[in-house]
A and B are shown apart, each in its own frame.
Chain A
Amino acid sequence: MPAGIDLRPKKTCARPARPARPARSEISRLRRGERGDAEVFGMLSFAPVMMAIVALIAAAAIFRAAQTTAFAAARECARVASAHLDPGGGAAAGIAAAQTTLLGSHIPMAQVVIELSGHAGPGSEVGCVVRARLGFAALPLTGWFGLTDAVVRADASAVVEKHKSR
């Protein structure tokens, strides 16, 4: 150590008094609390998006199930109608078969329209179209996002046996 250097702490002039600050631990605690609020807010901001997607999932599940059911009904309608030689009786039986198929699915469909055309005896092609309005009223979330209903349409055809005699 070179001579003449004094390493002892020197007495300095007193600093002007600062305003009182909260302790460091207090600041950290406050910050942590505020950070928690931000996280909750961050997750909450995602909530409507998630709810909208959940609503879409519910609507899509019902729509696809209804679409398959409507097609099954149309196919059954055409098949049963084509098994009858008499166009009038075939149409009635076909429509009844389609209605039975729709009832069996337990999917709430309204304004069901079943149209049967083309039955003109042996060799003719019978076409059946099933149209229905699918309501999403049972799902509360879908209503909030403007999804109230959808139209389902399906068609199928079958040929009356060419050499059918009875």
Chain B
Amino acid sequence: MRSIHDQRRRFEEGFATSVQGIFYVVLLWWCFGLVFDLGGAAYRSARLRSAAVSAAQDAAKYVDVAEIYRSDRLQIDAAAARSRAQAVFQRAMAGIPAEIVVSVQSGVLRDFVVVDARTVAPMYILRGFGMRDLTLTVHFAAEAVPGIEDEYQ
């Protein structure tokens, strides 16, 4: 009996060593996944944010001039603004699949262009740990502003 116990203990000790080693390797691999995948997500997020801001700001420049003369109200040409925002966004996110929803909302004195952009950052390493992807969203609003408000502007 005693020899069986000894033998089992010996096997278990060897097993414990392997498990410990594998655990450290897996832990390090997870750390690598965090750095690589979340770093990629951060890069994608920066791109998405930049693209959304550019799209909204560019779209907010499409002011309906005739409406200013008619009602003295700063109104955005919704169709032109939407198509412009789409074009700017797609160009800025070239190579990265992303979605954008552009809406023109009316304010008291002026209109706003509201951009909701969304992309999915794939997780190449963290997928093995149950995290398939990360959805990134950006919400940005740009206001239509008349050309000159201050001197020398």
- On A, residues with C-beta under 8 Å from B are 31, 35, 38-39, 42-43, 45-46, 49-50, 53-54, 56-57, 60-61, 63-65, 67-68, 71-72, 75, 125, 155-159, 161-163
* A61 and B24 contacting across the interface, CB-CB below 8 Å: no
- Closest B residue, CB atoms, query A54: B28
* B58 and A159 contacting across the interface, CB-CB below 8 Å: yes
How many interface contacts (CB-CB < 8 Å) are there between A and B? 74
Does B128 reach chain A (CB closer than 8 Å)? no
- On B, residues with C-beta under 8 Å from A are 10, 13-14, 17-18, 20-22, 24-25, 28-29, 31-32, 35-36, 39-40, 42-43, 46-47, 50, 54, 58, 61, 88, 91-92, 94, 147
Instruction: Provide the residues of chain B in CB contact with A159, threshold 8 Å.
Output: 58, 88
Interchain nearest-CB distance for B51 vs A (Å)? 9
Instruction: Provide the residues of chain A in CB contact with B91, threshold 8 Å.
Output: 125, 157
- Closest A residue, CB atoms, query B38: A64
Please, how many angstroms separate the alpha-carbon atoms of A72 and B21 in the complex? 40
* A64 and B58 contacting across the interface, CB-CB below 8 Å: no
* B17 and A43 contacting across the interface, CB-CB below 8 Å: yes
Please, how many angstroms separate the alpha-carbon atoms of A57 and B29 in the complex? 9
**Out of B18, B20, B42, which one reaches A64, CB within 8 Å?**
B42
* B46 and A72 contacting across the interface, CB-CB below 8 Å: yes
* B54 and A50 contacting across the interface, CB-CB below 8 Å: no
* B39 and A60 contacting across the interface, CB-CB below 8 Å: yes
* A46 and B21 contacting across the interface, CB-CB below 8 Å: yes
Knowing that A49-B25, A64-B43 touch, tell me 15 more A-B residue pairs with CB under 8 angstroms. Answer: A35-B13, A43-B17, A43-B20, A53-B25, A53-B29, A53-B31, A57-B31, A57-B32, A57-B35, A60-B32, A60-B39, A65-B39, A72-B46, A156-B50, A156-B92
